[in-house]
Amino acid sequence: MDSGSAIVMPGERITSIEEVAKEKRVILGPGLRRLDDTVVASKAGPLRHKEPNTFWIDNYQRRYVPARGDLVLGIIKGKAGDLYRVDIGSADIASIPYLAFEAATKKNRPDLNPGDIIYARVLNASADIEPELVCVNSNGKRGKLGLLADGFFFKCTLNLGRLLLRENCPALAALTRELAYEIAIGVNGRIWVKANSLRETMALSNAILTLEQAGYTEIDKICDSLGDVLQA
Amino acid sequence: MNIPGKTEKVANDKLREMQCEFNPLSRCDGSVMYCQGATVVISAVLGPIEVKTQNLSIDGSYLECNYRPKAGLPQVKERIREAAVRDVLELALLSEAYPRSKMSLQIQELEDRGSIDACALNSACLAMLIGGLPLKCSFAAVHCIINDQGEYVLDPDQRETVHQRASFTFAFDSLEGNLLLVQTKGSFKIAEFNDVESLCRSASAEIFRFYRNNIANYHCRRPEGQKTSEDNMET
């Protein structure tokens, strides 16, 4: 991935993408936009490319912008009619209907209170309407979504969330070798963890936060010493 | 970050040394401490965030800009500076990317030792870049004076501005070097104005290089690797 090292600045025209676009369709991710027949950057950072045709600009952003299908952690803020208002860290407060929980009916409402944490999927995300969440999949089953009881909740950068969520992340495997735990990671930069004891939970959250400054390649090295962080 | 306590005299046609530190503040979406010589400011951005209904716009985001002086409350002078920064940002910000939202910029002056207008603008640009806010282009501002001997002094220190005949602040965009802001004070000839403008324009290239190098350093702390789908946790 040699294109990874090129830093682009806002307003820069990216001809390498235009070249590819002549032959096939390309997908422009965050930080790139089409201006007439040119591709222009709108953020600063390294240009990334994923085969075959996806491009985006990597940026250590802290503000979450909802996208359909994202898994997020949200905090219940209150009730409004037949909706719960949920804070997912985006510009607008998200909403989740009572009926978007497993086995919920008009009579049998889920019991959620302000301050509760839920793991949900973004159903609708558009610039013009507030995001809508669901806690069931298309078969009406909750899977791993829903209320997260007990445990410990903390915020991190969006990057750390994505880093942990990628396939076979070595960090989580390294932690599994040390102790048993439950974890829920949102791409909105929020993490919930639960281990057998309070002490273990705190150690776990500290261990995860040490990864914050790490790169993908450094992670392997750090993972070996994560056990030490847990002991501390 | 080491802030130079005493600054050496820099050549008249050179910018003072620039330094910056990214994300010194933890609770905002992007922040930068930026210093140019002994002039230091901190800028912080938030956005896109929820907007008050009275400021809501359906075809673009609302831009809020606050400038805080080193001590006391903002007065007329600070309001003018704030308005200048907002005017430039409105030109550079890609506001249609996030309609019905607000972009908020806070600038805190820490030390004013000359060229504070240019310094505030440059720090605002860096904060926007680091916060990941959508921009049409980046921009750089340069301050220059004509002293009483008729010499052009680029990016002067405060003690050099005591005997100034005219002072200029220019802001340029990164694409075609278009002028985004002109502030002038004092008496000068059109020919002098043109000289100063071309002097500032060539200095702005150095600032753009500074932006790029610092952004590159910031990203290289974490070496690149292949990123996979963000959404692979099975439910």
Answer yes or no: CATH 2.40.50.100 is held by domain A2-57: yes
Quickly state the pLDDT bin for A120 (edges 50, 70, 90). Answer: very high
Mutate one of B207, B209, B224 to test the A interface: name it (highest A CB count within 10 A): B224
Q: How many C-beta atoms surround the C-beta of residue B125 within 10 A? A: 30
Which pair of tokens denotes residue A70? 């994202």
Q: How many C-beta atoms surround the C-beta of residue A196 within 10 A? A: 10
Q: How many C-beta atoms surround the C-beta of residue B10 within 10 A? A: 17
**A220 pLDDT higher than 90:** no
Partner-chain residue, chosen from B173, B212, B223, that has the shortest CB–CB distance to A216: B223
Q: Which residues contact B77 (CB under 8 A, 6 or more apart)?
A: none
Q: Quick check: B219 and A60 CB within 8 A?
A: yes
**A143 pLDDT higher than 90:** no
Q: Quick check: A167 and B229 CB within 8 A?
A: yes
| pLDDT tens column, A17-73 | 998 888 889 999 889 999 888 999 999 998 988 888 899 998 888 899 999 999 999
Q: Are B190 and B129 in contact (CB under 8 A)?
A: no
> CA B62, CA B64: separation in Å to the nearest integer?
7
> CA B188, CA B145: separation in Å to the nearest integer?
10
Partner-chain residue, chosen from B47, B134, B230, that has the shortest CB–CB distance to A187: B230
Quickly state the pLDDT bin for A231 (edges 50, 70, 90). Answer: low
Give every strand in the sheet of A54-57, ordered side by side.
A7-8, A45-50, A54-57, A27-28
Q: Which residue of A has its CA nearest to B99?
A: A127
Question: Which residues on B lie below 8 Å from A64 (Cβ)?
Answer: none
Of B112, B129, B102, nearest to B37 by C-alpha is B112
Which pair of tokens denotes residue B32? 């930068």
Hey, where are the domains in chain A? 2-57, 71-148, 152-231
pLDDT at residue A227 in the model: 67
Choice between A215 and B82, residue whose per-residue pLDDT is larger: B82
pLDDT at residue A5 in the model: 61
Q: Quick check: A91 and B135 CB within 8 A?
A: no
Quickly state the pLDDT bin for A216 (edges 50, 70, 90). Answer: low
Q: Quick check: A91 and B48 CB within 8 A?
A: yes
Sign of CA dihedral A160, A72, B28, A34: positive
Can you list the domains of chain B with their CATH numbers? 18-220 (3.30.230.70)
Check CB contact of A85 with chain B, cutoff 8 Å: no
Q: Quick check: B100 and A45 CB within 8 A?
A: no
Question: Which residues on B lie below 8 Å from A167 (Cβ)?
Answer: 228-229, 232
pLDDT at residue B228 in the model: 32
Per-residue pLDDT of chain B (235 residues; tens, 9 = 90+): 555 555 567 788 889 999 999 999 988 999 999 999 999 999 999 989 999 999 999 999 999 999 999 999 999 999 999 999 999 999 999 998 999 999 999 999 999 998 999 999 999 999 999 999 999 999 999 999 999 999 999 999 999 888 899 999 999 999 999 999 999 999 999 999 999 999 999 999 999 999 999 999 888 764 443 333 333 333 3
pLDDT at residue B165 in the model: 93
Q: Quick check: B129 and A167 CB within 8 A?
A: no
Q: CA of A216 to nearest chain B CA: how many angstroms apart?
A: 6
pLDDT at residue B6 in the model: 53
> CA B36, CA B22: separation in Å to the nearest integer?
15
Class of domain A71-148: mainly beta
Q: Are A118 and A146 in contact (CB under 8 A)?
A: yes
Mutate one of A9, A71, A134 to test the B interface: name it (highest B CB count within 10 A): A9
Q: Which residue of A has its CA nearest to B227?
A: A166
**A145 pLDDT higher than 70:** yes
> CA A94, CA A87: separation in Å to the nearest integer?
6
Check CB contact of A68 with chain B, cutoff 8 Å: no
pLDDT at residue B229 in the model: 33
Q: Quick check: B229 and A217 CB within 8 A?
A: no
Q: Which residue of A has its CA nearest to B57?
A: A128
Length of chain A: 232
Quickly state the pLDDT bin for A229 (edges 50, 70, 90). Answer: low
- Region of A125 (left: φ > 0; alpha: ψ -120 to 50; beta: rest) is beta
Judging by DSSP bridges, how do beta strands B102-111 and B62-68 pair with one another? parallel
> CA A101, CA B156: separation in Å to the nearest integer?
64
Quickly state the pLDDT bin for A157 (edges 50, 70, 90). Answer: confident
Q: Are A174 and A207 in contact (CB under 8 A)?
A: no
Partner-chain residue, chosen from A4, A42, A165, that has the shortest CB–CB distance to B134: A42
Q: Which residue of B has its CA nearest to A10?
A: B137
Partner-chain residue, chosen from A1, A63, A214, that has the shortest CB–CB distance to B224: A1
Q: Average pLDDT in the A110-116 region? A: 92
Question: Which residues on A lie below 8 Å from B229 (Cβ)?
Answer: 166-167
> CA A157, CA A119: separation in Å to the nearest integer?
18
Class of domain A152-231: alpha beta
Q: Average pLDDT in the A186-202 region? A: 91
pLDDT at residue B13 in the model: 85
Residue tagged 């952004």 (tokens): B215
pLDDT at residue B206 in the model: 94
> CA B112, CA B68: separation in Å to the nearest integer?
12
Burial status of residue B30 (CB atoms within 10 A of its CB: 0-12, 13-18, 19 or more): buried
> CA B142, CA A213: separation in Å to the nearest integer?
34
Helix or strand or coil: residue A84?
Answer: strand
Q: Are A141 and A135 in contact (CB under 8 A)?
A: no
Whether A71-148 shares its CATH topology with A152-231 is answered no
Helix or strand or coil: residue B218?
Answer: helix
Q: How many CA atoms lie within 13 A of A117 on its CB side?
A: 20
Q: Which residue of A has its CA nearest to B229?
A: A166
**CB burial string A23-36: b at 16+ within 10 A, e below:** eeebebebbbbeee
* Eight-state DSSP code of residue A19: H
Q: Are B102 and B53 in contact (CB under 8 A)?
A: no
Q: Quick check: B227 and A166 CB within 8 A?
A: yes
Q: Write down the ipTM of this complex.
A: 0.84
Q: Average pLDDT in the A78-92 region? A: 91
Check CB contact of A2 with chain B, cutoff 8 Å: no
Mutate one of A35, A49, A59, A162 to test the B interface: name it (highest B CB count within 10 A): A59
Judging by DSSP bridges, how do beta strands A71-80 and A117-124 pair with one another? antiparallel
